[in-house]
Amino acid sequence: MTSILNSPPLPAPELDVAQWLNTDEPLTLAKLRGKVVVLHAFQMLCPACVKFATPQAEELHQRFGSGDLAVIGLHTVFEHHDVMTPAALAAYVYENRLRFPIGVDRPDGHGGIPATMRAYAMEGTPTLVLIDRKGQMRLNHFGHLPDLALGVAIGALLAED
């Protein structure tokens, strides 16, 4: 089988989030230990995110989010900072009926790459990160992943202790 999962596992840097949507309290990877985490990094004005990756994250959340899979969005604004504000993101999330928790990646204060995006060395958006139950990063993928390939990888991680 051609697995898309990395080997060996790598450490998953903690999230550095300025504010949250769709959750009553801030989330951390530490608190999510024991669950498989799907981290969906996106920008609200990135066409491939809007068309493919964000709906896929929402579908994952709807189907599997009630159990031991946590789907987390991360708004990693690295361009058009002046218009992809938290208020704009909130309107986008409302209009598209997104339900999964979304964090605003902490800006660097100089219009550059935000903190978590930098810590993960993400190349752009969309990026999909898979984190196993032990908090280890098993995938860090720039670009869209087909549903079948992603599903098989998630199924494998869910089967681990």
d(CA 139, CA 141): 6
d(CA 121, CA 125): 12
Residue carrying structure tokens 């024991």? 34
88 binds a copy of itself (CB under 8 A): yes
Q: Tell me the per-residue interface mask from 22 to 51 with a copy of itself, x by CB under 8 A, - otherwise.
A: -----------------------xxx--xx
63 binds a copy of itself (CB under 8 A): yes
CB 13 to a copy of itself: min, Å: 25
CB 1 to a copy of itself: min, Å: 3
* CA distances to 13, 20, 76, 150 from 25, in Å: 20, 8, 20, 28
Q: What is the dihedral of CA 33, 127, 85, 58, to 10 degrees?
A: -70
CA angle 90, 86, 19 (to 5 degrees): 100
Pick 80 or 106: Cβ nearer a copy of itself: 80
- Using CB under 8 A, pick the residue from 26, 34, 112, 146 that binds a copy of itself: 146
Interacting residue ranges for a copy of itself, rule: CB under 8 A: 1-2, 45-47, 50-51, 56, 59-60, 63-64, 66-69, 80, 82-85, 87-88, 91-92, 95-96, 146-160
